């Protein structure tokens, strides 16, 4: 049964007669959810990511620049708290990102450079159904206390409820329109990966690693590079998986 606090959050974020949350472009249920989370939990920002069995499926909302960097890095690198939380089906509470370099060798230093000092990732799941992740970050290290953690979990439950509700009326095998834009991100990456397998004569896993490595090296969003690959503005060659 949904708790009273979760119902309150749902009423707040599903309201349509309210101004855009400060600092966010566009008034969507996801931007309102992020604004509610950052207003209720002492964190610096938040992001909501759609997830797929193979990883980050696209950002639904991010409160600010560091939050957007946080989601883009996790999608580009294929590692980070949201992916760990999703695959392990449990919250990941990293209150000092500086100590997490061994756990996420690519993500941790890059996120720290963006001003992120702590991350708390909550899988959006109901039973065996896994849908996404709510990421909260702080620009200073420090854990969440028990009340703050409970509030973060309530927001994650609300987000999972909204995702399930949106998908209820979706075409079988498809995504709700409100999720399709984020999923398009993943489709372009999938298309680009397929093209790279042919161009570089590698398998799917190696092709995705090549795409991620190049996006990271060039400091470009993964989707932007994938679009260039699909449009044949960028190509990969067999030797690309060997160069330093």
Beta bridge partners of 110: none
Helical residues (DSSP H) of 26-174, grouped into ranges = 29-40, 65-77, 81-88, 107-113, 146-168
Angle among Cα 210, 212, 217 to the nearest 5 degrees reads 95
pLDDT at 225 over 60: yes
Distance CA 91, CA 112 (A): 20
pLDDT band at 194 (very low <50, low <70, confident <90, very high): confident
pLDDT at 141 over 70: yes
Distance CA 178, CA 14 (A): 13
Q: Could you report how far apart the first and last alpha carbons of the chain are, in Å?
A: 54
Q: What is the pLDDT of residues 56-90, one digit of tens each?
A: 888 889 999 999 999 988 988 889 999 999 999 99
DSSP state of 124: E
Please tell me the total number of residues recorded for the chain in this structure: 244
Tokens at 45, concatenated: 């920002």
Residue 243, Cβ neighbours under 10 Å: how many? Answer: 7
Q: What is the pLDDT of residues 144-163, one digit of tens each?
A: 999 999 999 999 999 999 98
pLDDT value of position 193: 80
pLDDT value of position 66: 93
Q: H or E element: which one contains 138?
A: strand 129-138
Tokens at 218, concatenated: 């060039």
pLDDT at 213 over 90: no
Residue 200, Cβ neighbours under 10 Å: how many? Answer: 20
């Amino acid at each position: 049964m949904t708790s009273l606090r979760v119902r309150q959050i749902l009423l707040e974020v599903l309201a349509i007669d309210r101004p855009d949350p400060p600092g966010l472009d566009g008034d969507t249920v996801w931007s309102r959810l992020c604004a509610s989370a950052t207003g209720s939990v002492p964190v610096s920002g938040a992001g909501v990511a759609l997830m797929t069995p193979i990883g980050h499926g696209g950002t639904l909302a991010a409160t600010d620049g560091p939050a957007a960097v946080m989601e883009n890095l996790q999608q580009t690198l294929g590692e980070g708290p949201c992916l760990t939380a999703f695959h392990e089906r449990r919250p990941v509470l990293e209150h000092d990102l500086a100590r997490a370099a061994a756990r996420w060798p690519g993500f941790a230093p890059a996120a720290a450079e963006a001003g992120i000092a702590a991350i708390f990732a909550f899988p959006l799941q109901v039973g065996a159904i896994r849908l996404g992740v709510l990421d909260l970050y702080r620009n200073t290290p420090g854990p969440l206390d028990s009340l703050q953690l409970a509030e973060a979990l309530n927001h994650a439950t609300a987000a999972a409820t909204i995702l399930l509700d949106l998908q209820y009326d979706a075409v079988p095998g498809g995504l709700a329109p409100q999720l399709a834009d984020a999923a398009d991100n993943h489709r372009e990456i999938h298309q680009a990966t397929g093209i790279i397998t042919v161009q570089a004569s590698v398998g799917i896993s190696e092709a995705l690693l090549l795409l991620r490595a190049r996006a990271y090296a060039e400091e470009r969003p993964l989707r932007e590079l994938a679009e260039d690959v699909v449009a044949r503005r960028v190509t990969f060659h067999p030797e690309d998986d060997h160069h330093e």
